[in-house]
Amino acid sequence: MLNITAARRARRQVLELNIAPLIDMVFILLIFFLVTTSFVKETGVEVRRPTAATASPGPAAGVMVAVTADGRIFMDRREIPLESVQARVERALAENPEAGVMVVADTDARTGMSVAVMDACRRAGAREVALAAALPGKK
């Protein structure tokens, strides 16, 4: 006698969706984007940048230092004294030696303080130190 139930079971195929390669591809893409993304550390304070007609967008700076109108210096969302700017920039450049430094000085900040911060950044070993400016009409 023919067992019909056993024949039907034998004909049934178990369909499986193997998602292991899909998960592997997602992790590879995640790693790719994490490695190629450059993270910019914000200064943590809002300043009014001076305008310059010849301002041009430059490469993204990896290290940002802000100088406020009242002469305070901010880096990584913390206020720091002028004496520690060089050490902190050296530490940031140790993580990313190719990073540039952007000094974001307020329009009303003293020129002497901005120059002192830029000098400390150069002494720290920064290859590119730039002063942030806004295009006319954009602030």
Indicate the number of domains in the chain. 2
CA distance 40 to 131: 16
Q: H/E element holding 130?
A: strand 129-131
120 and 139 fall within a common domain: yes
Render pLDDT for 35-74 as a digit per residue (tens, 0 to 9): 877 666 667 777 888 878 777 777 667 888 999 999 999 9
45 and 32 fall within a common domain: no
26 and 87 fall within a common domain: no
72 and 138 fall within a common domain: yes
23 and 87 fall within a common domain: no
Render pLDDT for 76-129 as a digit per residue (tens, 0 to 9): 889 999 999 999 999 989 988 888 899 999 989 999 999 999 999 999 998 889
Question: Which one, of 75, 70, 76, lies nearest residue 48 by Cα?
Answer: 70
55 and 81 fall within a common domain: yes
The CATH number of residue 131's host domain is 3.30.420.270
81 and 131 fall within a common domain: yes
> Which range marks the domain in which residue 30 is found?
4-36
Q: In the predicted model, what is the mean pLDDT of the chain?
A: 83
